[in-house]
Amino acid sequence: MEGIAGGHGPAWWTQPEHFRRPLVFYMDAELEERLFGGRDSDLRLLEEHSHTLIQLEAWATADGHTRVTVVGPLGAQRWLQELVRSLGSREPGSLARGLLMLQRVRSRPLSLADLDAAGRGEPPPGDLARAA
């Protein structure tokens, strides 16, 4: 992302404001497996491509949820929040959008256009035909 990872400014992780307001949420094991995969390399790739740091903690809840903490630029945090919401949806259109978002973030680093599309509730850029 230009200004974050594109060499047009300091790296996002050197800017203290990206660590002041972490995104914290809980997810069940099925969604965790779908999103992060079963390997550390899957999580690392998601972090690299979303320009975030993600911490997973087994949490003592009645349902055995995982606590997820995300730090990084606000736009990237919002993008990941929308990804999780879409993947956890039972509505077919929202779930399909989430799967497209997951495919996008696994295939390449997110761009500003990706973040903007997620903020507007749209499918990832370039995937409009498949989402229709």
Residues 37-76 have pLDDT tens digits of 777 788 899 999 999 999 988 776 677 788 899 999 888 9
Condensed to tens digits (0 to 9), the pLDDT of residues 68-101 reads: 999 998 889 999 999 999 999 999 999 998 999 9
**What is the pTM for the complete model shown?**
0.79
Phi, psi of 57 (to 5 degrees): -135, 130
pLDDT band at 123 (very low <50, low <70, confident <90, very high): low
* Higher per-residue confidence, 119 vs 4: 119
pLDDT at 60: 65
Two tokens, residue 31: 């969604």
Judge contact between 42 and 83, C-beta under 8 A.
no
